[in-house]
Amino acid sequence: MKFEDYHINPAIKKALDKLGFKKPTDIQFKAIPPILKGEDVLAIAQTGTGKTAAFAIPVLHLLHERKQYARQDGIKCLVMVPTRELAIQITEVFHTLGKHTRVETMTVFGGVEQAPQISKLEDGIDVLVATPGRMFDLVSQGHIRLERVEILILDEADHMLDLGFIKDIRDVLRHLPRKRQTLFFSATINEHIKDLAYSLVTKPIRIQISPKDPVSKNVDHSVAYIGMDDKRFFLERVIKENEGSKILVFVRTKVRAERVFAAMERVGIKSETLHGDKEQVDRLAALNRFKKGEVKVLVATDVSSRGIDIPSVEYVVNYDLPDVPENYVHRVGRTGRGTQKGKSVSFCSPEEKPILDVIEEYLGKPIKVLDIEKQDYNATIDFSSEVKPDLKSLMKEIHDFEDATKKKKKPKKKK
């Protein structure tokens, strides 16, 4: 079935055609019809399978059609997401697909001035994409009213629960009409998601696109056993051996991100960092430079592993293994999206072996191991561009230091 065969507004078909989208993905094929019928949906599908368009296409159609006959003001669709980056990305999808419709979409999130967001809200919108914190601030101030919401969407629902947004989700329901359409979209499913979904919806249609291997078949992923202190040398090697490729590097903490950035800077490799300690404007700037290819290496914490669609990422490096096994799937899913092929390698130090075991248990099979011979391992370190002082240089530094110390201690002559 092609998009042209769907009973959706020609304005949306026009946008899909301009994007070159002819046929729906599996999740789109299964989710669009029940959403168009007004059904509640619980959809589970791998990352990179087109989940955002799976709900954006039918929602845009429904709101565009209703807007032709009803002129009521107020937000008609609320999309709740866990991160600012994901909120921006989903808003861009709604804008692109809804370019020729009457549907107005905007996003609100924290970390930036709220005045421009309030001004846009006052102009009137149909779809609000929001992170919980800023949304509740604006609700309490009276700038956001949700009593006319007809459709509630929770995207990356499992991640929202991981981040402790369950109370926020339940709180927002107090502001919504009881009669509404509710859509849950996620890449992974667990008991929390199921319990939450079934407590909030009426006889939902459950759609699950889950092959035996949770990692996309388009991704060639492997693991390499590397000492913690040697990881920077092997990252340098991966980057230099894949010159011109867009490489996304995942680390465990914000501090690690900055250390890896500094290590790459020492060997002449330009990169950007993306983590929660950066100002929102700086995070967006770094992400945009990486998306445009102005910078080829982005060092990020798991803030970027969930749902963020960065075009043409050829390589993902797990510099540190993720503590949560599901995040392994989300991380490597940043490459090999759609019909593209991608590669991923994970650096596993001896102390991280238990984490690897848990990840492999979650995947249901072992990850392919890259065997590195001792000679090759040592050569990677020896041929690094990082400046390593030789013995002569070290001796000179010691000699200079001792001379300087003696001069300081030398007593002044009496006049």
How far apart (Å, rounded) are the C-alpha atoms in residues 59 and 56? 5
Tokens at residue 237, please?
Answer: 């090697």
Under 8 Å between Cβ of 289 and 272: yes
Each residue's pLDDT, cut to its tens digit, for the chain (415 residues) gives 889 889 999 999 999 999 889 999 889 999 999 999 999 998 887 666 788 999 999 999 999 988 766 556 789 999 999 888 889 889 999 999 999 999 999 999 887 888 999 998 988 899 999 988 889 889 989 999 899 999 999 988 777 776 677 788 888 888 898 889 999 888 777 777 777 777 777 778 888 876 556 677 889 999 999 999 999 999 999 999 999 899 999 999 999 999 999 999 999 999 999 988 888 788 888 888 998 999 999 999 987 555 566 778 999 999 999 988 888 988 898 888 767 889 999 999 999 999 999 999 988 899 999 999 999 999 999 888 876 655 555 555 556 666 665 655 555 555 4
Neighbours of 30 (CB within 10 A): 18
How far apart (Å, rounded) are the C-alpha atoms in residues 13 and 280? 34
**Angle 10-19/84-97 helices, nearest 10 degrees?**
110
**CATH architecture for the domain at 219-382:** 3-Layer(aba) Sandwich (3.40)
Neighbours of 2 (CB within 10 A): 11
Q: Can you give the pTM of this predicted structure?
A: 0.68
pLDDT for the residue numbered 194: 77
Q: What are phi and psi of 140, to 5 degrees?
A: -65, -30
**Burial group, residue 252, by CB count within 10 angstroms (0-12, 13-18, 19+):** middle
Report which secondary-structure segment, H or E, holds 106: strand 105-108
Report which secondary-structure segment, H or E, holds 153: strand 151-155
DSSP assigned state of 368? E
CATH number (3.40.50.300, 2.60.130.10, 3.30.710.10, 3.40.50.970) of 3-209 reads 3.40.50.300
Q: Where are the alpha helices (DSSP H) in 174-298?
A: 191-200, 231-241, 254-266, 280-292
How far apart (Å, rounded) are the C-alpha atoms in residues 17 and 9? 13
Beta bridge partners of 77: 127, 151
Tokens at residue 395, please?
Answer: 């001796």
Ramachandran category for residue 307: left, alpha or beta (phi over 0 → left; psi -120 to 50 → alpha): left
Ramachandran category for residue 293: left, alpha or beta (phi over 0 → left; psi -120 to 50 → alpha): left
State how far the alpha carbon of 328 is from the alpha carbons of 187, 217, 222, 228, 412, in Å. Answer: 12, 15, 12, 19, 65
DSSP assigned state of 124? -
pLDDT for the residue numbered 268: 93
**Burial group, residue 320, by CB count within 10 angstroms (0-12, 13-18, 19+):** buried
219-382 and 3-209 share a CATH fold:
yes
**Angle 115-123/132-140 helices, nearest 10 degrees?**
70
How far apart (Å, rounded) are the C-alpha atoms in residues 109 and 279? 13
Strand order across the beta sheet in which 315-318 lies: 272-274, 297-300, 247-250, 315-318, 342-348, 219-225, 368-369
pLDDT for the residue numbered 403: 66
pLDDT for the residue numbered 383: 87
CA 340 to chain centroid: 18
- E-only strand ranges, 35-121: 41-45, 77-80, 105-108
Q: Where are the domains of the chain?
A: 3-209, 219-382
Handedness of CA 304, 308, 311, 316 (dihedral sign): positive
**Burial group, residue 152, by CB count within 10 angstroms (0-12, 13-18, 19+):** buried
Amino acid at 322: P
How far apart (Å, rounded) are the C-alpha atoms in residues 356 and 21? 38
Strand order across the beta sheet in which 127-130 lies: 105-108, 127-130, 77-80, 151-155, 181-186, 41-45, 205-209
Beta bridge partners of 208: 44
How far apart (Å, rounded) are the C-alpha atoms in residues 40 and 59? 12
pLDDT for the residue numbered 415: 45
